[in-house]
Amino acid sequence: AQKVTQAQTEISVVEKEDVTLDCVYETRDTTYYLFWYKQPPSGELVFLIRRNSFDEQNEISGRYSWNFQKSTSSFNFTITASQVVDSAVYFCALSEGRTNAGKSTFGDGTTLTVKP
Amino acid sequence: DGGITQSPKYLFRKEGQNVTLSCEQNLNHDAMYWYRQDPGQGLRLIYYSQIVNDFQKGDIAEGYSVSREKKESFPLTVTSAQKNPTAFYLCASSMKSNLNQPQHFGDGTRLSIL
């Protein structure tokens, strides 16, 4: 069975600090995808990034970066020079299996608060 | 603009009453999903549909029902059998029901018991 663990329930930082959100996953499949979503106070989840199980290259997008390590089953998310607008709940998700119909398993989320 | 529209934003249910949450998308997506979110928890899948006139139970389908008569619409009914319906409900869609497609979400409906 697939499982996603986000051990950090809440994180609070001061603006301009760097912060890393952890995500650890479990799967028996060799083919799977990992996602990060952001849920601002308005409620809707916004897709941030997708990574497939065969691509361990790290990715950087502006102040966001992602570190995917299959050896430790982790897909961590770092925000550099955090801003107040980064305050949100962040979810890591896993989709596995070629016939899994696009279903994703979500972690419980990490609530990030960035204080001015 | 294309997107997913959920209505109403807030909904109140009386004991023994069925209520229906609306979800409409104009993204021409094939797959649609309903999730339930409780405070401090992740999203749990209620039902999903890969194609019109077909849908499958998710992890917590008991007390809920859905229909998919049109590609753009996937309403969720919370029945009186659902004893703890207070939660935030999110509807999502994806281009295809493949594992590599990200999901697009609506703004959610917050359901409370009167």
Residue B64 binned pLDDT confidence (cut-offs 50, 70, 90):
very high
Which residues in B lie closer than 8 A to residue A33 (C-beta atoms)? 99-100
Chain B residues 89-108 with CB within 8 Å of chain A: 90, 92, 94, 96-108
- Res A100: pLDDT: 56
d(CA A80, CA A77): 10
Average pLDDT value for chain B: 91
d(CA B30, CA B50): 6
Per residue in B17-35, pLDDT (tens digit) is 999 999 999 999 999 999 9
Confidence check: pLDDT of A99 > 60: no
Residue B101 binned pLDDT confidence (cut-offs 50, 70, 90):
confident
Taking an 8 Å cut-off on Cβ atoms, the answer to whether A43 and B41 are in contact is no
A5-19, A61-75, B7-21, B93-107: the lowest-pLDDT one:
B93-107
Of A11, A4, A18, A15, nearest in space to A75 by CA? A4
Q: How close is the nearest chain B Cα to the Cα of A76, in Å? A: 17
- Res A79: pLDDT: 96
Taking an 8 Å cut-off on Cβ atoms, the answer to whether B90 and A42 are in contact is no
Residue type, A59: E
B30, B51 in Cβ contact below 8 A? yes
Which residues in A lie closer than 8 A to residue B105 (C-beta atoms)? 37, 44-46
Q: Which of B34, B46, B99, B111 to mutate to test the interface with A (most CBs of A within 10 A)?
A: B99
Which residues in B lie closer than 8 A to residue A44 (C-beta atoms)? 90, 105-108
A89-93, B78-82, B100-104: the lowest-pLDDT one:
B100-104
Hunting for tokens 């949450």 — which residue is that? B21
Residue type, B25: Q
Which pairs with CB-CB distance under 8 Å and at least 24 residues apart come from B52-56? Answer: B56/A101
Q: Which strand (E) or helix (H) includes residue B42?
A: none
Q: Which of B1, B38, B43, B54 to mutate to test the interface with A (most CBs of A within 10 A)?
A: B43
DSSP per-residue letters across A28-55: S-SSEEEEEEEE-TT---EEEEEEETT-
Residues 6+ apart with CB under 8 A from B90: A43, A44, A45, B6, B34, B35, B36, B37, B43, B105, B106, B108
d(CA A60, CA A77): 10
